[in-house]
Each structure stands twice: as C-alpha cells, then as structure tokens.
Amino acid sequence: MRITALDLVDVFVYVVVLNLFVEFFPGVISESFATSLLTAIMLKIVLEGVLLLKKRLLASRAGASTAARRVISTVTLVLLLPASKFVLLWLEDLFFGDAVNLGGFWSVTLLVVALTGARAGVRALLERIPHAR
C-alpha cells in the first residue's frame, strides 16, 4: 500500500475536524497537537479499512446468487457500521489511554460523519483544481 497525496490531505482534514470537536464538544479530549495528529492517522487507517469492508460487502450482496447470501451480506453490513465505532473507541483507549478521549458511541458516530463529509468535500474541491504540470 502506497501513501498518496490524497492520504496526507485526508489526515490533515481529519486533524482539523478532530480539533474542532475537541474545542466544541467537552467529551472529546486530545491533550496535544501530536496526539491529535496520531489520532487522525489512526482514524484514517480504521476508516479506510471500514470503507474497504463496506465495498466488499456491497459487491458480495450485489453478486449474491441466493437470497440467503444477500441477507447475510446485508446483516453483516448493518453490523459493521456500529461495530466500527466500538473498534475506534477501543483502539483510541488502547493506543492513547487518557491522552485522548473521543467521547462515547454517539460522539464518535458524529465525528465519523463529520470526517467523512469533510473528506468528501475537500476531495471534491481538489478535483476542480487543475493540476500543475
């Protein structure tokens, strides 16, 4: 796996969004910029993994030959979304302990929605900018 310029932009966007959450949500805590940066990198890795699993599950559901396989793919997809939030909370506690607190399930869910939206918005803006040659 290669690190691309878009990956770096994503991490910087995640740092900004995470620090806005730290500022405006009392339950979200990051003790320093360094922990915010490391948390953003962790979020990037986990969210990329979740997006990859989601794409695979959607492809599996679309290519399912039986109703049972479609149901299993759908149920797995529905379980993946909340489970990923618990994985984020667990990893945050494992890696950072008390230095970072992303709040609870709902604040992490809102954070993930904000991260995903900000990522999509910045990527849409970058697509409109002609690349220097």
DSSP code string of 56-92: HHHHHHHT-SSHHHHHHHHHHHHHHHHHHHHHHHHHH
Query: Residue 65's pLDDT is what?
Result: 84
pLDDT over 70 (residue 132): no
Between the alpha carbon of residue 63 and those of residues 60, 72, 77, 83, 110, the distances in Å are 5, 12, 15, 24, 31
pLDDT digits (tens, 9 = 90+) for 75-106: 888 898 889 999 999 999 999 999 999 988 89
Query: Residue 23's pLDDT is what?
Result: 94
The percent of residues in the chain predicted with pLDDT above 70, rounded, is: 98
Query: Using CA atoms, how far apart are residues 98 and 121, in angstroms rounded to an integer?
Result: 31
Identify the band that residue 2 occupies on the pLDDT scale cut at 50, 70 and 90. Answer: confident
pTM (2 decimals)? 0.84
